[in-house]
Structures are given as structure tokens and as C-alpha cells.
Chains A and B, each alone.
Chain A
Amino acid sequence: MSIRDLTLACAVAIAAGPLAAQNNEPERTSAALPETLEGTGERAPMTPPRSSANEVGVIDPTANQFGIGQIATEEEIAAIDIDAMPDGRGLPAGSGTYAEGKQVYSETCAACHGSDLRGISALGAPRLIGGRGTLADDNPIKTVESYWPYASTLFDYVHRSMPMDSPGSLTAEEVYAVSAYILGRSGIIDDDPDAALDGDSLPDIEMPNVDGFVPDPRPDVNTTE
């Protein structure tokens, strides 16, 4: 470690110090070194991990009963169960229109994916529309319009991880709206400004490449001994 690193490390540690002291419960930012034992000065061993279960319960390892862990409540599951499936399972309540989506897109998406929805490769942001009918070409163009088999995937991905600078920040309404806009611009659904998408209509959308995927046929090269 160089002196520069030392200076940095110390500055970071000390800057964190007074902040943490202001809270009642200082935020844990790293693990403390093991304590030393009286007498020998040995380092204390790990603390045996604790089961979060309220009681020991019946223990029968042969029947996978360990008295470990807890039952997950519906609330706990709902707090992180965000996936949406092609048949509509998991899609949240709410709806959004093409016009609303155009607004969301220009404010949230266009900076990376381009105001024309054709991506900005220098930013690593892929093209979203066009390319239909090119998948068998020498230079196929894979976009939401030309390649993605299900509209639910668009909703799910945007909802969980877009935009890059503020992932997961869009409301369900905003994601329905921006999905309506992207799919409308693709000519896959109506681009009427008032055309709305919701949890009922989104699974009914038939994507152009829905039949384009096949199961893994490997081994596909005849090279067995």
C-alpha cells in the first residue's frame, strides 16, 4: 500500500466516523477483527451461526427437518417477488398509455437508447425497434421488435433493472406506459396516443418472433468417438 492509498483509506475511515456517531445505531461498514482471548491471547474463533427459527423444533435430518430457517410470510415474499411471466402471472396492477410512455421514454430512456429508439452503441445501449425479417441475414438485427418472444420480458426487464442510472425506479404505470410506447413504435400494437397497456392486455400481445425459439438440440456436431 502506498502513502497515497494510506491517505485515502484514512480519509475515508475518518469521514465515516463522525457520521456514524450521529446515528443511534452506527451503520456496519465492515467486520471487526476477531477479539483476543484472555490468558493465551489467541484470536477468538467464529461465532457458531444461529438459526433464525424461534424454537429448536423436531430434528430429523433424514427427513430434512433441521429446525433451521423460518416460514416466509406473504408480505415478505410480495416485497421482492417482482417477476412477470408470459401468461401474465406476476404482472402488477396499473396501466399506462402510449402518450404517457412517450413522455417517460424521452425523460428516462432516450439519453441512452436514442430518441429514435435505435440505440447508442458507444454507450452500450442496444437498439429497441426495427430489424424484423433480418434474423436469417448475414448481419441480423436483434431488437425487442425483431427478436424478443414475449412482451412480458420487456415489462419485467424494464421494471427490475432500468434505467441504468436508477434501476428499478419506474412505477408499474410508467413501465406499462413505456412498454406501450416501445411496442407501439414497433408496430406490434396500436400507436394511438390513448392506447393503454395493463396486466390483462399485455399477455395477449403476440410478438413477431414468438415462434422463433427452439430447444437445445446439441450434440449437433457428429464427433462422438
Chain B
Amino acid sequence: MSKDERFPPLRYGPAERHMAESLVELERQMLSGEQAEDCDCKEGMFNSVTRRNLLAGGLAVGGSALAGGRAVAEAPPGAHEYYVQPDPTKEQGRTILNDGGYGSRSQFESEVRWRYPTASLDSSWSMTPLASGHGIITPSGLHFERHHAGIPNIDPLQHELILHGMVDEPLRFTMDDLKRLPAVSRIHFIECSGNTLTEWADPTLKTVQGTHGLTSTSEWTGVRLSTLLEMAGVQDNAAWILAEGADAAVMTRSVPIDKAMDDAILAYAQNGEAIRPEQGYPLRLLLPGFEGNTHIKWLRRLEVSDKPFMTREETSKYTDLMPDGSARQFSMEMEAKSVITFPSGAMKLPRPGFYEITGLAWSGQGKITKVEVSADGGNTWHEAALDGPILPKCHTRFRLPWAWTGDEVVLQSRAVDETGYVQPTLADLVAVRGLNSVYHLNAIQNWHIAPNGEVTNVHS
């Protein structure tokens, strides 16, 4: 049968016909066991298509054939729907590289980021599910997001970084250039300074994902910013450096030159692979310990200057309004903070018994030195074990064995960092800052456990 007979031009446009022919060819190859290398469709596109899926759906042409196909269950995001064996010891498992060569999580795991319901979809944020996290690293696909103008899709071959301003020699780098320079890998948290902003006046969100999910930790790899600045030659009167992104917000923040020369990294990798698009692919400025907004994503330009640029994000936003009407500006470092992630809000402990209390502590000013846990609303404190590694400006995991008797309790954690700073209570913060400062809420979190085991977000 000729192609014209099978998919007559009267009913099929060129694109539909091409797709239909490709599907026929793909199915023929799969049924005959051939490799799909001759298919017009790009190799790797059909990573998860199993013979079962293809047969179940029949020949899907356009959308119309779907109606007659058997319903195929949707795997959770990041997973593929595979056949579940009744007894995996009695038949061979699925074949190697069935996934195309890039793995996926189990279809029985479904943790996802959650979007705070902002009015705009372009300027919005999504939060890390901290309650089910393990250790200190956040999976790249669950790292919190904050975008002011959506996620740009950038070909790294087209992306360049320009460094100019008060330097002896302005420089231009391709992504290849940056990858040729001496690199460092560092594990650091990034926390949005708006993390916990819903909780100033009243307990508002129910889960730790909602109250604390704008912090995440990754291993970041890239070039030290100081390397580039030394290559360009920073002039004597330089004091600030502007970082600018290539998104539709053309996001800009001014950074003190001392920070740029200290531990700032131009990161192109996250957790061992290229940085994720929503985290700034192909290049992100990493300013360890500084508020998340300064870690400019999709970085395209750095301009050295004697003064801050007073961009929108460092004047009208990310400034902290005080009760007297003044506003604090350039509050860069994230002070020590901790939160118990288990047990935490909206969980229900099934019955009294042994539970390991666990959570995360972090400080933008160095290492965590101590985390204490109270199970009586702050009257007595017990030192938790810090589960290594304990790294500066990084999530640190703490754990404490605990027996719940079934009585009503309030659980709290309190972090101390190497500067001696102790995480304050909310009342301490509000007494100084009032209720309108929005950002930088790093107070002790309270989780109330009722006799029926229900865990709720409360203010003590």
C-alpha cells in the first residue's frame, strides 16, 4: 500500500501524515525487535514507550484515535509508567536502557514542588517538599523556584557572559570558555528571603513545604567570580557589581565587590550535571549565604561600579519595612534558621510510640554548631545530633530520638551558628521589626501535636 493510499492527502496534512507514517514505522520496528535508529523521529524521544503502551493505545493518529484506546495510567512527574510484576522473582525485569539512558524515579514516588497561588503564572514561586526529604541535598527536580518572568529556554551555544565597567579590560566569555577555567564544587543552600513570609502575623500555611519550602541545597560547580575579576583587573574605586539575567525580567541585583571576590561562583552545574533550566541554565551566579534573589539566573552580564545600581529588586522589593516607616536595604545574609521536617504540619502520627524527630538547620554566616529541640513549647531544650557533613552556608540535618506519650505537645527547634547567633523566637523578631517587613523571617517554628496525633502550625 502506498503512502498516499494509507494516509490520503485529502484527509491528512503533511505534518499529520509524517507523524502517522513515523508511528507505523516505529511500531513495525518495535514488534520486529529492530533498533529504532531508522525512525525519522529523534532518537531518545520515545524513552518510555513500551510495547505494552503502544499496543494499549493502538495507532494514535492526531487526537481522535485516543478516544477508542484503553486508558493508560499516568505516571507521576519524573517517573515512567512501567508494568508492575505480580511476583518480580518469577519473571525477568524490564530491560536495561529501556529508559533511553537517563534514569527516572519509581512510579511509586510522587513528591512534587507546589506553587504558591500567586495571581501571575509568570511571576511565581514553587516550594520544595521538605517533609519527605532525606539528608541535606535537594533533588534538582525538587529545588524551589522563583521566577519573575517565566523560565527562558536558552541554547548554551548562543549564550555569552560579558564582564565590564570599572575593570582594566572588559571580557566576553562563551559557555565553553567558562568550562575551561579552573572550577570549584561547593554544597550550599539557597533560601529565598521571602521564605516563611506568610507566617508573620498568624500561622497561615499548614505544611512545612508551605512555611519553609523556599530553601534547597545543591552541589554547585563553576568558576569563582574572583577568577574572572582578576582576569579583567578590578579598578581601585570599584565597590559594587551588577549581575543581570537573560530572562524577560532581565533581572538585576547589585552585589558588594567584597562578596564577589570572596566565595561567589558562576555555576554551570548542579548536583553533578548541567544546572536545570529553572535554576538558571546555562549559568547562574551563586552567592553562598545571600538571599536567593541575588543568585541571578541565566546570567549574561556583570558590570563593576563604584555605587549600587538601585534596581527595582533592591529598592521596591527585597527591602524590609520597619514600624517607623524606614526600610532596611541590602539585607543580604540569611541568618541562622531551622525547622523540624518530621513530624510537621498536616501529618497525623498514627499512635504513641518511638519517632525520630528530624529537620534542617542552616545559616548564611557559616556552619551550624548546635540545634536544640524542645517538646514542651520551649521550656526545656535537648541537643539534637548533627548528622554530617556539617558545611558552611549549607543545610545541616539534625536528628533526635523521641517517644511520644500521646499527650499534647509543641515541638520546636532552635539553631546556633558559628558566629554564636541563636535563632530567635517570632515574638523577638516582631518586637523589633513589626509585621510589615515581609522578608527574612527566621524565627523558631512551632508544631502542635494533639492527642489524636494531628500536627498543626501554631504560634506559641
Q: Are B62 and A69 in contact (CB under 8 A)?
A: no
Please, how many angstroms separate the alpha-carbon atoms of A194 and B180 in the complex? 55
Are A156 and B311 in contact, with the CB atoms below 8 A? Answer: yes
Compute how far the CA of A70 lies from the CA of B173 in the bound complex, rounded to whole angstroms: 7
Q: How far is the CB of A146 from chain B (nearest CB, A)?
A: 10
Quick check: A15 and B15 within 8 Å, CB to CB?
Answer: yes
A218 and B312 form a contact (CB under 8 A): no
How far, in whole Å, are A147 and B329 apart by their CA atoms in the complex? 12
Contact of A221 with B432 at beta-carbon distance under 8 Å, contacts A7-B66, A71-B171, A216-B332 already known: yes
Q: Is A91 an interface residue (CB 8 A)?
A: no
Q: Is B405 an interface residue (CB 8 A)?
A: no
- Given A52-B173, A64-B231, A212-B325, A10–B19 Cβ distance below 8 Å? yes
Task: Kindly report which residue of chain A lies nearest to residue B227, judged by CB atoms.
Answer: A64
CA distance A49 to B171 in the complex (A): 18
**Does chain A have a CB within 8 A of B330?**
yes
Interface size on B, residues (CB 8 A): 105
**Contact indicator B177/A68 (Cβ below 8 Å):** yes
Give the docked Cα–Cα distance between A49 and B63 (Å).
Answer: 43
Tell me the nearest residue of chain B to A219, going by C-beta. Answer: B421
Q: Which residues of B contact A157 (CB under 8 A)?
A: 311-312
**What interface size band does chain A fall in?**
35 or more
- Determine the main DSSP class of B at the interface with A: loop
**Chain A contacts with B in 153-168, Cβ cutoff 8 A:** 153, 156-157, 160-161, 164, 167-168
Indicate if the CB atoms of A28 and B155 lie closer than 8 Å: yes
The stretch from B35-43, B340-348, B448-456 touching chain A is B35-43
Tell me whether B307 is interfacial, beta carbon within 8 Å: yes
Q: A140-B436, A157-B312, A216-B331 are in contact. List 14 more A-B contacts (CB 8 A).
A: A17-B40, A18-B18, A51-B177, A64-B230, A72-B163, A77-B170, A85-B310, A160-B249, A213-B326, A213-B327, A216-B329, A218-B331, A223-B421, A224-B419
Interface residues, chain A, with chain B CB atoms under 8 Å away: 1-4, 6-7, 9-11, 13-15, 17-18, 28, 30, 33, 49-53, 61, 64-66, 68-72, 76-77, 80-83, 85-87, 121-124, 135-136, 138, 140, 142, 144, 147-150, 152-153, 156-157, 160-161, 164, 167-168, 212-221, 223-225
